[in-house]
Chains A and B, each alone.
Chain A
């Protein structure tokens, strides 16, 4: 790389960064209201690893065309420790859904019957936010990690919208297509403090509404939701990325 191009690159970085740092500094000069809570709204694709155990082929791909589900989640964190970052306990609830075409029996041909797969995940997490960058060093970035347990209620509907049933051709036993599955997750992400874009507006938001900080964030999620490795369960876990907004108050 030529010296002139390198200079331009550094100059560009400085132009982009310095105002943010200055704004963060300005913002932090003013006294904030106490903050103990955080709410996150996040969305993203979600493709459960349904066939890690049990199934011999990939009916998920056949029925849903290999598409990911869409998942939306709402999380509430209560920060109970705030030294060297913040430690919180988080409670989360979401919903994921996908619709596909049923297969003409015994074939891989799509029919006009719709079949839906939906689940509602609940989780409890221990959350650590490394917010020293933002609070001490005026860098508007907050990395974080989460670890916790999940409880997922799921159900599958048939072509007329009823809960699906499967009758074992050998035993005649009827299995209903709904249930719940337990699991665990770990997640890591990075939040970008939005307050630096408009410190005065952020201050007003704090004074009038009590919201100290607003973030956008991206989160990497690994979830294993298979009744802790039980061979007789769906694995509703996935490796995915979620994106969202967070408000700290």
Chain B
């Protein structure tokens, strides 16, 4: 009875959802029971999985491109053959080990989960929106994964296509419905041959309006296990505490290199010795030349550049001879060149123009108002406090200018009056501020009216 409730609810709440049917995958993520991570998004309905990700998802030891060793299993998470499992699914017609996480309205034929469904096994969690289903109408939903799934719902799994989920559903709008598919259905059992693999969703109409055409949609996963070639470092230019590395990417467009990695260390390193040598790096680099900063002048740095493709495969630094060395040097920027040549400018701001010097006395009313402005308004937030701090650094210099040039006092007072007036308005007379604004508005309106009359 409980299983009928969603159906009954749908009959009441979602009547007549006739029209075009659409299925849209909104998200694909990897999930292992405790951790969720994004699968590399390429474009709409297209994702990419690289070698390292594949090895992680299948529980295989990571095999470095620098060594000849092949991927070797380290866990039993993917030991069950996907085809056997799928055959079991088909034979028993008992659904599968795929969890439909939101089974509202579903009459899913759930079976006992396979042993590869252990909580720690990586799964592909796909979020799907389905709209425009006719209600009430029965249809079959199928989800299959693999490199070679047909465009119509298969009756059973094959070597290249695992029928991962099958259920009879009543017509509903299934927004945000999530399906979890074991990664091995998509990836196979090894991360050795690059290929395209798909997750396909099928709708097979079985109800009264069975004339409805079956619907199918797919999400492409590019399984790319090939790392791009190492970029060639063209130059390493030294600067003050920095090095600019310029490089050329030898990979053609088929490699789909998206970003680069730039690594540096004070001793030769490879990827295998990256941590032990104290080297570090940045990935996701797109700038070329790229500036390495925070370096010490006079220290020799070893620099290497890698290419990273859309699947996250990174060309590996296997040989220290692939690194280039550079040494940051002391450089005089314009300010240092000016000061070094005897320039007297000291920098700093005189924005307040030192009211005390301008108004002649620290006790002048105007100065008091500015002090109140400082204490009540400026010091109330971080930006204001920074301004006050700046003022105290440069205040003496500004005061000296005004004191050295007495004829500047009237000018300084004139320039300060707007600030003083602002202080008065902000602090003591909000009513005056409102009145002034209202007066200004009325005056502008009067001018506009007069101009309109004159124009007419």
Residue positions of A touching B, CB distance < 8 A: 33-34, 50-51, 53-57, 59-60, 62-64, 100, 102-106, 111-113, 115-117, 149, 153, 156-160, 164-166, 168, 175-180, 182, 227-234
Contacts and interface: CB of A to CB of B under 8 A. Distances in A.
Interface in B334-387: 334-351
Interface in B49-98: none
18 contacts: A33-B451, A53-B344, A55-B342, A59-B338, A59-B341, A113-B239, A113-B331, A157-B333, A159-B239, A166-B340, A175-B347, A178-B348, A179-B345, A179-B348, A228-B401, A228-B405, A230-B405, A234-B343
Residue among B336, B394, B397, B408 with the most chain A CB within 10 A?
B336
B282 interface: no
Q: Which 4 A-B pairs have the closest CB atoms?
A: A177-B335, A59-B337, A54-B344, A164-B335
Q: Is the interface of B mostly helix, strand, loop or mixed?
A: mixed
Residue among B329, B347, B397, B408 with the most chain A CB within 10 A?
B347
A27 B135 CA distance: 72
Contacts of B411: 149
B293 A160 contact: yes
A64 B340 CA distance: 16
A56 B293 contact: no
Contacts of B338: 50, 55, 59-60
Contacts of A159: 239-242, 331, 333
B336 A164 contact: yes
B345 A54 contact: yes
Given A54-B342, A56-B342, A231-B344, A156 B349 contact: no
Contacts of B291: 160
B428 to A, nearest CB: 27
Nearest to B243: A112
A168 B441 CA distance: 54
B330 interface: yes
Contacts of B454: 33-34
Nearest to B339: A166
B334 A59 contact: yes
Residue among B332, B350, B404 with the most chain A CB within 10 A?
B332
Contacts of B350: 179-180, 182, 227
Contacts of B451: 33-34
B394 A179 contact: yes
Nearest to B346: A175
Residue among A56, A227, A233 with the most chain B CB within 10 A?
A227
B43 interface: no
A175 B343 CA distance: 12
A112 B405 CA distance: 43
Contacts of B345: 54, 179, 232-234
B242 A160 contact: yes
Residue among A116, A153, A234 with the most chain B CB within 10 A?
A234
B27 interface: no
Residue among A33, A59, A177, A233 with the most chain B CB within 10 A?
A59
Nearest to B291: A160
Contacts of B405: 228-230
Interface residues of B, number: 43
Nearest to A158: B333
Contacts of B334: 59-60, 63-64, 100, 102, 115-117, 156, 164, 177
Given A112-B238, A112-B244, A182-B350, A105 B332 contact: yes
A13 to B, nearest CB: 37
B397 A33 contact: no
Contact of B349 (A64, A180, A231, A233): A180
Contacts of A229: 405
B333 A113 contact: yes
Contact of A178 (B239, B336, B347, B408): B347
B404 to A, nearest CB: 7
Contacts of A166: 335-336, 339-340
A117 B244 CA distance: 21
B455 interface: yes
A156 B338 CA distance: 11
Contacts of A104: 329-332
Interface in B300-344: 329-344
A2 to B, nearest CB: 54
Nearest to A180: B349
Contacts of A59: 332, 334, 337-338, 340-341, 343
B422 interface: no
A158 B240 contact: yes
Nearest to A101: B331
Contacts of B343: 50-51, 54-55, 59, 234
A232 B340 CA distance: 15
Interface string B207-248: 000000000000000000000000000000111111010000
A240 B346 CA distance: 26
Residue among A117, A156, A164 with the most chain B CB within 10 A?
A164
A121 to B, nearest CB: 14
Nearest to A115: B333
A227 B336 CA distance: 21
Nearest to A165: B335
B447 to A, nearest CB: 8
Given A105-B330, A115-B335, A160-B239, 9 more contacts: A34-B454, A50-B343, A53-B344, A59-B337, A105-B332, A113-B239, A164-B336, A166-B340, A182-B350
Contacts of B330: 104-106
A227 to B, nearest CB: 5
A59 B343 CA distance: 10
Interface in B387-430: 394, 397, 401, 404-405, 408, 411, 415
A112 B342 contact: no
Nearest to B237: A112
